[in-house]
Amino acid sequence: MIDFSAIRVLWLRELKRFYRARSRIFGALAMPLFFLAFLGMGFSRMAVPGMGEGVDYINFLVPGILGMSLLFSSTFGGLSVLWDKEFGFMKEIMVAPVSRFSIVLGRIAGGVTTALIQGLLILAVSMFMGFKVISVWSLLFSLVFMILISVTFLGLGLIFASRMKDMQGFSIVMNFVIFPLFFLSGALYPVENFPRWLQAVARIDPLTYGVDGLRHLLIGVSSYPLFLDLGLIGAFALVMVWVGAVLFEKSETT
């Protein structure tokens, strides 16, 4: 059974940890903003093939950087699981009379909320750099894609955290995983510019469809139909959460 009280408590705990760690907020925003500032300004006058007519690079870049922020913050949400194992909190919540699936949902809810806060902050700052959203409704619908991207990679982080015990090892492995996911997604340049074999690899990257959906909604340019993006990123989110929950059920607390 799903225990909504347990979900709320774990969600609130993640929010409090995020609010109290001011350095974490700054660190999470610094790299995306550096990408926006230096890449956006550096390539603003260059014609990048495949961007679409009338689209400048800063507008093309913002949805990709938004996807990058969600990818990094969500994937490293698994690190908090290892942290809780290290200091014994995981053992305490595991013996509580609530299902482990409720614990998974609580952690995902907290991670999604903090990732959304970071994403919205980046979106707000980008508007001061010249980024323009095509409509308010598209901005609201983009929140659905932001949530699905976050859920997908929170699930991925949980999968790795459930099978690992070392925090340093987790960070190394996740860096090895998330950078290829980021660069293959078309966040910095159109996927159509890749060689054909690399385009095929990019199509199995969940972030490809998340970034493409955000780009479609925010600036009206995309490589795939919107409903294909929505269906595939939604499917990835469900699979990642399910696999993460199954592995978390079987994981050890120490």
Question: What would the pLDDT profile of 95-135 be if each residue is shown by its tens digit?
Answer: 666 777 787 888 888 889 988 988 888 888 888 887 888 88
Does 52 have pLDDT greater than 70? no
CA angle 196, 202, 207 (to 5 degrees): 160
Q: What pLDDT is recorded for position 19? A: 77
Mean pLDDT within 181-199: 88
Cβ(142)–Cβ(218) below 8 Å: yes
| Residue type (1 letter), 203 | R
Mean pLDDT within 84-103: 69
Mean pLDDT within 61-71: 90
Q: What pLDDT is recorded for position 212? A: 93
Q: Which residues of 147-181 are buried (b: 16+ CB within 10 A; e: fewer)?
A: bbbbbbbbbbbbbbbbebeebeebeeebeeebeeb
Best-predicted range by mean pLDDT among 30-44, 140-154, 172-186?
A: 140-154
Mean pLDDT within 183-204: 88
The Cα-based distances of 186 to 49, 161, 223 in angstroms read: 13, 27, 10
Convert the pLDDT of each residue in 131-174 to its tens digit.
888 888 888 999 999 999 999 998 888 888 877 777 777 777 77
Cβ(230)–Cβ(144) below 8 Å: yes
Q: Is 157 left (phi over 0), alpha (psi -120 to 50) or beta?
A: alpha
- The DSSP 8-state label assigned to residue 195 in this structure reads -
For residues 232 and 94, the model is more confident at 232
> Counting beta carbons within 10 angstroms of the beta carbon of residue 55, is it exposed (0 to 12), middle (13 to 18) or buried (19 or more)?
middle
Q: What pLDDT is recorded for position 214? A: 93
Other Cβ atoms closer than 10 A to 242? 13
Mean pLDDT within 198-208: 91
Query: Which of these, 59, 173, 154, lies nearest to 116 by C-alpha position?
Result: 154
Q: What pLDDT is recorded for position 94? A: 66
